[in-house]
Amino acid sequence: MSNQFESKHIATEPEPIGCFGLVVRMIWLLAGNAALFILAILIFQRRGFSALDVGFWAIVATLVLLRYMDITRLKGLTSNSEPATLRHWRMYVIRLLLASATMWGLAHGIPHLL
């Protein structure tokens, strides 16, 4: 007979994600964002449209795809170590696009104000 006050959640160790999963997560969490920041600075310094802009948006698209793959294939987690869902992915995409568009716009707009 079970006690009604027993916890229904059993603490478990997180599953190992493997080398590939770790690389994917480090890219979309850290390296991709750093690359966008660096490209925004280079775009700002160049003061015009160039291949840097194509690279910037290609990285944004890659980050969207990597996060999708992380969630759907690699058992991606939220910041609370809960399983991530496609709802989390959609929110990530919205935040990434807003932040990227702002950063890109500033990189192109600020030089014209100076």
Domain boundaries, the chain: 18-113
pLDDT over 90, % of the chain: 68
Q: What is the pTM for the complete model shown?
A: 0.81
Name the residue with higher pLDDT: 3 or 35.
35
Confidence of residue 14 (pLDDT cuts 50, 70, 90): low
Residues listed for the chain: 114
Q: What burial letters (b/e) apply to 41-51, b meaning 16+ CB within 10 Å?
A: eebbeeeeeee
Q: What is the mean pLDDT of the chain?
A: 87
pLDDT of residue 13: 56
pLDDT of residue 111: 65
CA distances, 56 to each of 47, 50, 72, 80 (Å): 15, 10, 25, 29
**CB 64, CB 96: distance < 8 Å:** yes
pLDDT above 80: residue 69: yes
Q: Is the pLDDT of residue 15 over 70?
A: no
The confidence score (pLDDT) of residue 7 equals 47
The vertex-33 CA angle with 29 and 34, nearest 5°, equals 115
Q: Note the pLDDT of residue 104.
A: 96
